[in-house]
Amino acid sequence: MNRQVSMEFVFRFQRKITGAKANIIEYLINHDGKFYGSYRDFAEAMGKPKSDATNLCRHVHELAEMGIITSIVDEQVTSKSKTLIGLNDDWTDHI
């Protein structure tokens, strides 16, 4: 993502997005805007301990409520359920 952003956007981003949520957005930007796997896998992919999966899940849901990302859980719910987490194309409009 090589587009220029205004200082106004930077300040809004800093006020609305915590560091943990910013890390999720940054990860998605650097990985084609998506991740597919369990939250434990997502934590590991982000360089965090698998035990951080619950916090990541909470942050992902909060980002989804803001309209920044979309998360879709596989219909087949098992102990190893996988979720598709994607950065919305218009995510900057929701900051």
Report pLDDT digits (tens) over 27-66: 999 999 999 999 999 999 999 999 999 999 999 999 999 9
Average pLDDT along the chain: 88
Q: How many domains does the chain have?
A: 1
pLDDT at 1: 46
CA distance 32 to 49: 23
Is 52:23 a contact under the CB 8 Å cutoff? no
Average pLDDT over residues 9-32: 89
* 2 domain-assigned: no
* 64 domain-assigned: yes
Range of the domain at 19: 7-89
Strands (E), 1-95: 34-37, 69-73, 83-87
* 81 domain-assigned: yes
* 1 domain-assigned: no
pTM of the model: 0.84
What's the CATH code of the domain at 40?
Answer: 1.10.10.10
Q: Is the pLDDT of residue 2 over 60?
A: no
CA distance 95 to 47: 25
Residue with tokens 């309209």: 67
